[in-house]
């Protein structure tokens, strides 16, 4: 009983912390017009009214009303104010972790301007501090906390992979001096990776290394802290997210790098570029850039040259939610593709209106929701099919994973590529 009360106290503390007016504003603003329904992949795919974004807002807001408003305390029935009991917690887990990719698409379209995604993340934070994160997601966070990367790749295996990729690079550019530098101090760029790369797609490491080689960049990888992801951003545990953020911050400083460059990973870019400074409550004293921005910069500045006809097949672009809606990177990926591909077509819709692939919000890590994840992916499958493209470019390894599964499940017969791969294949060296 005492433990249960303590959990409730912790959960409510998230709602009542009174840090600023943002949460209060968004919790009180929804008018339950329901017009956000058609913006959400979950509702569109399953047509279940409990999945509309307003329901996700309201389950958090109903707890807020119960404990923090006069009406909710005195007349809970009038405003359906809910106790933070087991039933509410179970529903919250299912709605906020299992039925939302935190893609933010509904936010732009909300008739009022409720930051639905922010409220969902606050709800996740409540569950997280209470200890109710789905175990699969929590074990991914734990791997990162315990081993320094979310896939628990050992230091030896990682170094072996890098050495292997360095040989590949040397063959590719026909230069025995070409290198993948490790733990070198004082370089201009400290580059990061999504652990999926060393584990499953090492070729994308050599692709980016080839781009750095062509640009003559002064760069290094850290073998201690290279993981661009931060799954605590999805579990929304602020302390755990801060530990991971601080490690990256410290490593850039230890290696005395001038700039942190983030691999193609939507949430990795968002968490490191935008959220990490807030997690650790510190302004970074170095520049933080996504590799997409950096590659576009190289091309614009003439540091690398690409063959505009290198990619002959029709290519379309998947916009990762965290890069575009959550990070304002919209033009660079298009610019890059137009420098490498003959025939680039947009999906419909695209940009800030693009639909999530279904793998965001930690869904790829939460196998208990796999069936749902592949069901909501039908929307993305249709977008790709209608584009008529043979290649889908996606500047995010998580999206690449989901898109590859979509490709298989919905028999799209397309190739799924990162931008670094496309640029590397188009380089004129």
Partner 1 sequence: MAWYNWFGIFSLAICLAVCLYHVIRLIKLGMPVEYSGRSGSPVSGIVYSFTSAMNPSVKESASLNLPVYIAGIVYHLGTFIAGILFMTVIAGLSPSGYHLLFFAFFLFISALSGTGILIKRLTDKKLLYISLPDDYISNVLVTFFQASGGVFLLLPGSEPVFMISAGLMMLYLPVGKLRHAIYFFAARFHLGFFYGWRNVWPLHKQKVDERSK
Positions in the binding site for ligand SF4 (CB under 6 A): 30-36, 39-42, 53-54, 56-57, 100-106, 110-112, 114, 116-117, 120, 356
Angle formed at CA 274 by CA 235 and CA 319, multiple of 5 degrees: 80
Q: Is residue 18 left, alpha or beta, with left meaning phi > 0 and alpha meaning psi from -120 to 50?
A: left
Contact at 8 Å (CB) between 392 and 414?
Answer: yes
Contact at 8 Å (CB) between 354 and 327?
Answer: no
Shortest spacing between CB 325 and ligand SF4, in angstroms:
9
Contact at 8 Å (CB) between 407 and 282?
Answer: no
Contact at 8 Å (CB) between 348 and 371?
Answer: no
Shortest spacing between CB 81 and partner 1, in angstroms:
9
Q: Which ranges of 281-330 does DSSP label H, i.e. alpha helix?
A: 291-300, 321-324
The nearer residue to ligand SF4, 118 or 132, going by C-beta atoms, is 118
Is residue 28 within the footprint of partner 1 (CB under 8 A)? Answer: yes
The nearer residue to ligand SF4, 32 or 300, going by C-beta atoms, is 32
Shortest spacing between CB 319 and ligand SF4, in angstroms:
14
Interacting residues with partner 1 between 284 and 303 (CB under 8 A): 284, 287-288, 300
Residue (of 311, 267, 318) closest to 290 by Cα position = 267
Q: Residue 100: which of ligand SF4, partner 1, none does it interact with, CB under 5 to 8 A by kind?
A: ligand SF4
Residue 355's Cα: distance from chain center in Å? 14
The nearer residue to ligand SF4, 103 or 190, going by C-beta atoms, is 103
Residue (of 181, 395, 180) closest to 269 by Cα position = 395
Instruction: State how far the Cα of 364 lies from the Cα of 101, in Å rounded to an integer.
Output: 10
The nearer residue to ligand SF4, 269 or 419, going by C-beta atoms, is 269
Residue (of 272, 252, 255) closest to 263 by Cα position = 272
Q: Which stretch binds partner 1 (CB under 8 A): 120-128, 209-217, 324-332, 415-423?
A: 324-332
The DSSP secondary-structure symbol of 364 reads G
Is residue 55 within the footprint of partner 1 (CB under 8 A)? Answer: yes
Shortest spacing between CB 34 and partner 1, in angstroms:
5
Angle formed at CA 41 by CA 38 and CA 44, multiple of 5 degrees: 50
Shortest spacing between CB 401 and partner 1, in angstroms:
25
Q: Residue 288: which of ligand SF4, partner 1, none does it interact with, CB under 5 to 8 A by kind?
A: partner 1
Interacting residues with partner 1 between 350 and 379 (CB under 8 A): 350-353
Q: Which stretch binds partner 1 (CB under 8 A): 4-12, 83-91, 328-336, 388-396?
A: 328-336
Q: Is residue 186 left, alpha or beta, with left meaning phi > 0 and alpha meaning psi from -120 to 50?
A: left
Interacting residues with partner 1 between 103 and 142 (CB under 8 A): 107-115, 118
Q: Residue 26: which of ligand SF4, partner 1, none does it interact with, CB under 5 to 8 A by kind?
A: partner 1
Residues comprising the chain, all counted = 429
Shortest spacing between CB 355 and partner 1, in angstroms:
12
Is residue 36 within the footprint of partner 1 (CB under 8 A)? Answer: yes
Q: Which stretch binds partner 1 (CB under 8 A): 139-147, 150-158, 347-355, 409-417?
A: 347-355
Q: Which stretch binds partner 1 (CB under 8 A): 210-218, 319-327, 384-392, 417-425?
A: 319-327
Q: Residue 20: which of partner 1, ligand SF4, none does it interact with, CB under 5 to 8 A by kind?
A: partner 1
Shortest spacing between CB 322 and ligand SF4, in angstroms:
11
Instruction: State how far the Cα of 183 lies from the Cα of 252, in Å rounded to an integer.
Output: 10
Contact at 8 Å (CB) between 183 and 218?
Answer: no
Interacting residues with partner 1 between 240 and 269 (CB under 8 A): none
Q: Which stretch binds partner 1 (CB under 8 A): 13-21, 129-137, 147-155, 378-386?
A: 13-21
Interacting residues with partner 1 between 56 and 75 (CB under 8 A): 58, 70-71
Q: What contacts 360, CB < 8 A, 6 or more positions away?
A: 101, 102, 103, 266, 267, 320, 321, 322, 398, 399
Q: Residue 326: which of partner 1, ligand SF4, none does it interact with, CB under 5 to 8 A by kind?
A: partner 1
Instruction: State how far the Cα of 272 lies from the Cα of 257, in Å rounded to an integer.
Output: 15
Contact at 8 Å (CB) between 121 and 236?
Answer: yes
DSSP string, 232-283: HHHHT-HHHHHHHHHHHHHHHHHTT-SEEEE-S-HHHHIIIIIIHHHHTT--
Is residue 338 within the footprint of partner 1 (CB under 8 A)? Answer: yes
Instruction: State how far the Cα of 104 lies from the Cα of 94, in Å rounded to an integer.
Output: 18
Is residue 202 within the footprint of partner 1 (CB under 8 A)? Answer: no
Q: Which of 18, 216, 309, 388 binds partner 1 (CB under 8 A)?
A: 18
């Amino acid at each position: 009983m005492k433990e249960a009360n303590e959990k409730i106290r912790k959960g409510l503390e998230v709602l009542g912390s009174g840090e600023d007016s943002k949460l209060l504003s968004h919790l009180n603003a929804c008018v339950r017009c329901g017009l956000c329904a058609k913006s959400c992949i979950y509702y569109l795919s399953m047509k279940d009214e409990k999945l509309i974004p307003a329901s996700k807002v309201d389950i958090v807001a109903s707890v807020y009303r119960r404990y923090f408003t006069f009406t909710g305390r005195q007349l809970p029935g009038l405003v359906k104010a809910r106790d933070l009991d087991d039933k509410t917690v179970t529903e919250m887990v299912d709605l906020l972790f299992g039925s939302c990719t935190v893609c933010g698409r509904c936010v732009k379209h909300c008739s009022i301007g409720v930051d639905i995604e922010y409220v969902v993340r606050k709800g996740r934070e409540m569950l997280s501090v209470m200890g109710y994160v789905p175990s699969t997601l929590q074990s991914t966070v734990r791997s990162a906390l315990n081993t320094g990367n979310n896939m628990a790749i050992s230091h030896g295996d990682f170094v072996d992979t890098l050495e292997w990729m360095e040989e590949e690079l040397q063959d590719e550019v026909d230069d025995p001096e070409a290198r993948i530098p490790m733990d070198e101090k004082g370089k201009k760029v400290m580059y990061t990776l999504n652990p999926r790369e060393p584990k499953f797609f090492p070729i994308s490491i050599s692709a980016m290394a080839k781009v750095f080689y062509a640009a003559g960049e002064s760069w290094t990888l850290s073998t201690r802290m290279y993981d661009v992801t931060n799954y605590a951003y999805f579990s929304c545990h602020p302390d755990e997210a801060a530990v991971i953020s601080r490690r990256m911050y410290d490593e850039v400083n230890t290696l005395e790098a001038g700039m942190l460059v983030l691999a193609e990973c939507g949430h990795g870019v968002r968490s490191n570029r935008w959220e990490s400074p807030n997690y650790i409550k510190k302004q970074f004293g170095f520049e933080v850039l996504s590799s997409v921005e950096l590659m576009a910069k190289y091309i614009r500045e003439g540091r690398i040259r690409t063959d505009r006809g290198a990619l002959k097949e029709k290519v379309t672009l998947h916009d990762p939610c965290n890069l575009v809606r959550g990070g304002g990177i919209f033009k660079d990926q298009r610019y890059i593709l137009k420098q490498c591909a003959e025939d680039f077509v947009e999906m419909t819709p695209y940009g800030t209106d693009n639909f999530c692939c279904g793998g965001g919000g930690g869904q790829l890590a939460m196998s208990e929701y796999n069936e749902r994840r592949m069901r909501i992916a039908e929307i993305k499958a249709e977008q790709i099919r209608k584009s008529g493209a043979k290649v889908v470019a996606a500047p995010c390894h998580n999206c690449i994973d989901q898109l590859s599964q979509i490709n298989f499940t919905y028999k799209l017969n397309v190739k799924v590529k990162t931008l670094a791969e496309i640029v590397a294949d188009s380089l004129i060296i």
